[in-house]
Amino acid sequence: MKPIYRHIQPSVTMGLDTQAKALAAAGRDVINLTAGQVDLPMPEAGKAAIDMALKANMTGYVPATGSPDVKAAVRARMGWQEGEVLISAGAKPLLNAAISCLCGPEDEVILPGPCYTSYPEMVRLTGAKPIIVPGTAENGFIVPGMNIERHITAHTKALLLNNPVNPTGAVYGREALRQIVEIAKRYDLYLIADEVYGSFVYEEAFISLYSFSDARDRLILVNSASKSYAMAGLRLGYAVAPQPVAAVMGAYLSHALGCPCSLSEQAALAVLSLSDEYEQDLTSIFRDRRDRLCRALSGIEGWQVHKAPGAFYLWLDVSGWDDDEAFCRKLLDEEGVALTPGSAFCCPGYVRLAYAKDISILLEAAKRIRRFVEGSYSSSTGVNS
């Protein structure tokens, strides 16, 4: 049997981000809208905490699953009364630990699609099989419970739900979440929830899967400081899980990763104690970007621009033209705008635009995209002219 790693594909989003940065370094005028990284500065309290930690020489190892005071701060901030809290170097290691500790060869993991590009590869790394259950534009890319249930087999071990959704910006409401909880209980499945975009919900209050108390005995919930506090590069994630699962995840992390960064922990302690005002301001800024960008891209023939209710992505239908990968290559080559093809998220025919840039940059990108689409494509034939 071939080693599992030979089946794993590199991250498309990180690859495109690297390509766009290389072009910019070579002198090209590139607007890079591939990476989902908040562009605003992290709170000053976090910076001050890192300075103090450096002066105090707090640069040694911390416990493998995080320091007790950081766990307590996370628990208080997130309202996680039940379950064990784990701290790690970002959300990804925690998600990977959960999947690796729950799944193995011949198991299956349900992934509502479109889905984040790393999810299928994380599942494949365990020898398990990712089962993509596609959503559609007609239902706002929310995958109904009945569709999920049709894909459950005797091999299904878990369901991994990203809410709000990367790449579509869809947000699962209470009824959709209740359906998923009931399905998990009916078929005795674990629920792995990635809620890193929970601070970016624009019309209604965000509902966490943790709010369903009857799901907590099977729920592994992951969040991080990367998006909510603009700390992506500091790599500080946190999770809550039932004690037996948390114990195994902790053992896995101790071998696979070691421990979180001591300086990142101190920054997290500082920002987690802030009032809600920082997150509220962040949400307001991104809501304004979304609304203005949607207006700037509206009216392009053949396009439908929808204001997704969450995350910070526009999910654009390019199925009427060339395939999504060709679209992105040509747009980058001709106009210097880097987007991510939907194929990377198991949904060809779309492209993802991350509006994590200043509004002036986003409006310039919108102008270039409009010029590219209206000038390079024939609306009558729907193909490259």
Q: Tens digit of pLDDT for each residue in 121-149?
A: 999 999 999 999 999 999 999 999 999 99
C-alpha dihedral, 183 to 184 to 186 to 188, nearest 10°: 160
Q: Return the CATH number of 4-41+277-373, one of 1.20.1250.20, 3.40.50.300, 3.90.1150.10, 3.40.640.10.
A: 3.90.1150.10
CATH architecture of the domain 46-272 equals: 3-Layer(aba) Sandwich (3.40)
Residue corresponding to tokens 């909880």: 181
> pLDDT at position 153, please?
98
> pLDDT at position 385, please?
44
Taking only the tens place, the pLDDT of each residue in 270-306 is 999 998 999 999 999 999 999 999 999 998 887 878 8
Taking only the tens place, the pLDDT of each residue in 237-263 is 999 999 999 999 999 999 999 999 999
SS3 content of the chain, % helix, strand, coil (to 5): 45, 15, 40
The amino acid present at 161, given as its one-letter code, is L
Average pLDDT, the chain: 93
For residue 193, which of 313, 267, 111 has the smallest C-alpha distance? Answer: 111
Q: Which 3 state secondary structure label does DSSP give 155?
A: coil
Say if residue 56's pLDDT is above 80: yes
pTM, 2 dp: 0.93
Domains in the chain: boundaries? 4-41+277-373, 46-272
Say if residue 381's pLDDT is above 60: no
| 120, two tokens | 């299928």
Question: 113 and 345 in contact (C-beta within 8 Å)?
Answer: yes
Helix 359-376 × helix 324-335 angle, to 10°: 110
